[in-house]
Amino acid sequence: TLPQDSAQWRAHLAAKNAEPVAYEVTRHAATERPFTGRYESHWSEGVYRCICCDTPLFKSDTKFDAGCGWPSFYQTIDKSKVREIPDTSHGMRRVEVVCSHCGGHLGHVFNDGYGQPTGLRYCINGLSLGFVRKQ
């Protein structure tokens, strides 16, 4: 079962060796600073998962360098694994991406043509991800 309150979420993430700010990113839609996350320039083969609930979200072969400072992917493993929510915060019109299983904030998706072949750029906070290397 998933944690129910902030103390449980903090303990859950700490047990997964997540950085302390991962709680603010995943549970309160904060954003990690660009070019600081462990997965921004990470190119191993495998699967990126939600740090909160381990739901598989992105395959490494869909990751690309968008130069934006966050891990970027051109598609999800399966559209049902994420929810896309209109986001008008901070005076912008964006689409927030959250894990469909636990509701953890992942980042935003932009239809800006960068991610080929789909034209999508899932700009994801590295702190919201875990990684399982391909065996």
Ordered DSSP codes for the chain: ----SHHHHHHHHHHTT--TTHHHHHHH---PPTT-STTTT---SEEEEETTT--EEEEGGGEE--SSSS-EES--S-GGGEEEEEE-GGG--EEEEEETTT--EEEEEE-SS-STTTT-EEEE-GGGEEEEE--
| Residues belonging to the active site | 123
Give the integer Cα–Cα distance in Å for 5 and 8. Answer: 5
Tell me how crowded residue 11 is: count the other CB atoms within 10 A of its CB: 12
